[in-house]
Amino acid sequence: MLTLEAVSVTYNHRRQAVGALADVSLQIADGDFVSVVGPSGSGKSTLLLTLGGMLSPSAGRVLLDGESVYDLPSDQRARLRRKKLGFVFQTFNLVPYLTALENVQAPLFLAGLGDREQQERAAALLERVGLGDRLDHKPSELSVGQQQRVALARVLANDPAIILADEPTGNLDPDTAQQVIVFLEEFSREGRTLVMVTHDPQAARRAKRKLSLRAGKIASEEEQEAGEPRRGSSCG
């Protein structure tokens, strides 16, 4: 379970304190699929980075399976991220000079797997996302949608229990965005916990829960039947 206890995040900008999150408390159960919506500047990406152990809160605590993430030394926090968390970004964050196979192998190399096991697992993951014939292609040789699918394969490399996705469909055409959401739904059905920041109301409605942020606070929360738009629901 992921838990935020009265979390606030404040930045200093031009000697002015700017609040990005304000006293946010939240519980995300194992296996939940949560979409986070709200206008630009509402704190969505800050929330995701804070959940992911990448941005220390100014106040409050973040707990992962009962362990206070930011009370851990930085090296232990990094190990926790590698072991339990996977990240998907709008900009893909692929290494441009590595092939698709090598990009997916990278976290497996860091985990200490042998070369053959790295290659076999990476190839199987790329096959899963429909890129079994693109193993040796570099990012510049792939379409935008294919690059995002490489990123999805890479996020599965270490079999994370939790996937944090920041605008995973933001750079994609509608058909490709739909494919990515279908993959995320598959990951959810496998029992993984997903938290997805999105501006896309259709993508948001595919989650089990939807949180709306306003000015760094949770303005509303609703349960919804995953994959089925609820009457009266909106990106709010």
Tell me the pLDDT tens digit for each residue of 130-145: 999 999 999 999 999 9
Q: Which fold has domain 31-54+74-223?
A: Rossmann fold (3.40.50)
pLDDT tops 90 at residue 162: yes
Provide the pairing of β-strand 67-68 with 59-64.
antiparallel
If we measure between CA atoms, which residue out of 18, 20, 36, 195 comes closest to residue 8?
A: 20
pLDDT beyond 80 at 15: no
Predicted confidence (pLDDT) per residue in 35-94, tens digit:
999 998 888 999 999 999 999 999 999 999 989 999 999 989 988 888 899 999 888 889
> Predicted confidence band at 232 (pLDDT cuts at 50, 70, 90)?
very low
Residue pair 109/72 in contact (Cβ under 8 Å)? The answer is: no
For residue 114, report the phi and psi dihedrals to the nearest 5 degrees: -70, 160
Question: Mean pLDDT over residues 174-182, rounded?
Answer: 90
Domain definitions of the chain by residue range: 31-54+74-223
Burial 155-171 (b: 16+ CB within 10 A, else e): bbbbebebbbbbbbbbb
Give the pLDDT band of residue 230 (cuts 50, 70, 90): very low
What pLDDT is stored for residue 227 in this prediction?
52
Report pLDDT for 226.
56
DSSP string, 26-70: EEE-TT-EEEEE--TTSSHHHHHHHHTTSS--SEEEEEETTEEGG
pLDDT tens column, 196-213: 999 988 899 999 999 999
Residue 171 has pLDDT above 90, yes or no: no
